[in-house]
Amino acid sequence: MTVSSDLAAPQLASPELLRSVFRRHAAGVAVITAQDPHTGPVGFTATSLTSVAAEPPLISFGVGTGSSSWPVIAEAEYVGVHILGEDQHELAATFARSGADRFAAPTSWHTGPQGVPVLDGVLAWLVGRVVARVPAGDHRIVLAEAVVGDPTGPGRPLLYHQGSFTALRD
């Protein structure tokens, strides 16, 4: 086996290495929402959304325990999962921004099934019943069983790659 001399030396694992490697991984962009019965809706942008199983229909996503949405997600029985379209950069940025009033105009949304905030104009959405919250470092992996949704929004997905939102290219 030969090693190319133009390759950089391997780095020891660190948070910076993990971030650098995953900046090269293009990921779909989703917004996760939930309803707090006392303070209203919460939500955040996620690139960790995964289809886990078809029977039963399970999805997962990661959420930081330090995020402003975590206290609500930690107690929520149901969550909304929204797949964003390539023209929804601003919506993704709004839900990623700390301290933003995420549900104020121009965000368009309505109360959906199980009282979950559902964003309007997305490619697809699901409402899921939370079945587990698994500790994973400074995050929790949330598993939810899909109970209702709509996959019929027009367009193509928004992606996150190299630290910015982008679109598929033909």
What whole-number distance in Å separates Cα of residue 85 and Cα of residue 73? 24
The Cα-based distances of 40 to 37, 149, 165 in angstroms read: 6, 21, 28
**pLDDT band with cut points at 50, 70 and 90 for residue 1:** low
Look at residue 142 and tell me whether its pLDDT is greater than 90. Answer: yes
Beta bridge partners of 66: none
Contact 112, 80 (CB under 8 A): yes
Look at residue 55 and tell me whether its pLDDT is greater than 90. Answer: yes
Peptide bond into 56 cis (omega under 30): yes
- What does the pLDDT average to over 19-48? 93
Look at residue 10 and tell me whether its pLDDT is greater than 70. Answer: yes
CA torsion angle 30 21 161 45 (round to 10):
20
Provide the whole-model pTM.
0.90
Contact 100, 94 (CB under 8 A): yes
What whole-number distance in Å separates Cα of residue 121 and Cα of residue 109? 9
pLDDT at 8: 72
- Which region among 23-27, 31-35, 87-91 has the lowest average model confidence (pLDDT)? 23-27
Contact 32, 63 (CB under 8 A): yes
